[in-house]
Amino acid sequence: MLRFVLLSALALLVLTEDLEPRYLEEGAGERVVGGEVARPNSWPWQISLQYKSGSSFYHTCGGTLIRRGWVMTAAHCVDSQRTWRVVLGEHNLNSNDGTEQILSVSQVYINNGWNSNNVAGGYDIALLRLSSEATLNSAVQLGTLASANYILPNNNPCYVTGWGRTSTGGPLSNSLKQAWLPSVDHQTCSSSGWWGSTVKTTMVCAGGGANSGCNGDSGGPLNCQVNGQYQVHGVTSFVSSSGCNANRKPTVFTRVSAYISWINGIIG
């Protein structure tokens, strides 16, 4: 299903090679490249979204804990029928950190505007209702969402987080990574030579410069420093098929501040 989604998106978006977006879930082989291993639990709202195959669960996307019983992720991460679970307080995916909380997903809410054949249309956002409520502690905290309709200025300090490869095609990092990824404003990101009309005003761009890091897992947070705190401003959506370090092709995120009323309408 993920391959179908990816190919469908590519078929619609073969404008130029540079404009083919790529999703970032593990099925597409893309996670954080570059960046550094995060201090354990320094992004305590980061979750690992996992699907069941056989008798085991496998990491596929990131996400953000936004209420004790709710997680925000990307629509394209959950638009196939699967059994999902969420791991909170996770650091190393393959070993016991002593801080993990594993909760099953009781319901998936995908934004009605999402069309898996048109990633550039936007609406790549979904909410997951958890079967029970998280216990909040130093390793598990709620993410602070961006204020409704807030627009980041150009070059705002941000980090993308996710479990990632240490180089393109290289070994997986089992530990959560973070990469420095300053925001790129819409005027710049949608200009010719950058993403052009592929990027909509309901998206946030970050990275794309020589000194920036790389993408995180799909569905995971873009954590931006605003008013002295880290707020979640983006849901990781897609990167250029030319690679996540392609010049003038920043990683593209669903802009959280455009969906605050949609989120509140579902979670109450």
- Residue 157: exposure state from Cβ atoms within 10 A (0-12, 13-18, ≥19): middle
CB of 94 to Ca ion, least distance (A): 7
Q: Which residues of 69-95 are buried (b: 16+ CB within 10 A; e: fewer)?
A: bbbbbbbbbbbeebebbbbbbbbebee
Q: Extract the tokens encoding 35.
A: 């960046």
CB of 103 to Ca ion, least distance (A): 15
Nearer to Ca ion, 92 or 166 (CB): 92
User: Would you say 36 and 25 are in contact if contact means Cβ atoms under 8 Å apart?
Assistant: no
Residues that bind Ca ion (CB under 5 A): 92, 97
Q: How far is CA 94 from the centre of its chain?
A: 21
Catalytic residue (choose from 79, 124, 233, 241)? 124
CB of 101 to Ca ion, least distance (A): 11
Q: Annotated catalytic, 218?
A: yes
Residue with the shortest CB distance to Ca ion: 97
Nearer to Ca ion, 18 or 97 (CB): 97
Q: Annotated catalytic, 124?
A: yes
CB of 221 to Ca ion, least distance (A): 19
Catalytic residue (choose from 173, 190, 212, 218)? 218
How far apart are alpha carbons 89 and 1 in whole angstroms? 29
Q: Where are the alpha helices (DSSP H) in 91-229?
A: 186-189
Catalytic residue (choose from 48, 59, 76, 79)? 76
Q: Annotated catalytic, 76?
A: yes
* Catalytically annotated residues: 76, 124, 218
